[in-house]
Amino acid sequence: MTSRSISCTAAAAAIAAALAVTASAAAPSVTLNVKGGYANRELVACGIRHHYTFFHLARPLLMDGSVRPVPRGTWRVKVKVKKCIRGRFRTLWARHTKGKPDGTFKVAYTPRRAGAYFARAYFYGTRPAARGDKQYFHAP
């Protein structure tokens, strides 16, 4: 291998690395916040120990979040709520909500039965879809 081919290989590797960093920096991130809990405790549900925020049963649970970078035009976020049922978290509720021009969104869910839940937001404006962290909550 000549010194010219080595420098071309090194240059190509540097360009590929720079493109990978740029692509990962542009990948959207999704956040979801569950608002208005009255207590916090660590619980085990479906075999997972986690921090849970407690909410009153049959009262609306407000959630908001954001997508960064801010998507252009009209965009939507899907919020899913899963409940621990017979040892597995199963989808109980899913809602698409319209995003605002500033990159934020709001949605409400009302837990009808006692149990351990989590919510997560998904943004399908990219491939693969961007998804936020799970937000665990409990309705006693």
pLDDT in tens, 44-63: 999 999 999 999 999 999 99
Contact partners, residue 117, CB within 8 Å, separation at least 6: 81, 82, 83, 84, 92, 111, 136, 137, 138, 139
pTM of the model: 0.80
Whether residue 11 has pLDDT greater than 80: no
Domains of the chain: 28-139 (2.60.40.10)
H-assigned helices in the chain: 3-26
pLDDT digits (tens, 9 = 90+) for 63-116: 999 999 999 999 999 999 999 999 999 999 999 999 999 999 999 999 999 999
Largest CA distance in the chain: 73
**Distance, CA of 16 to CA of 26 (rounded, Å):** 15
pLDDT value for 1: 54
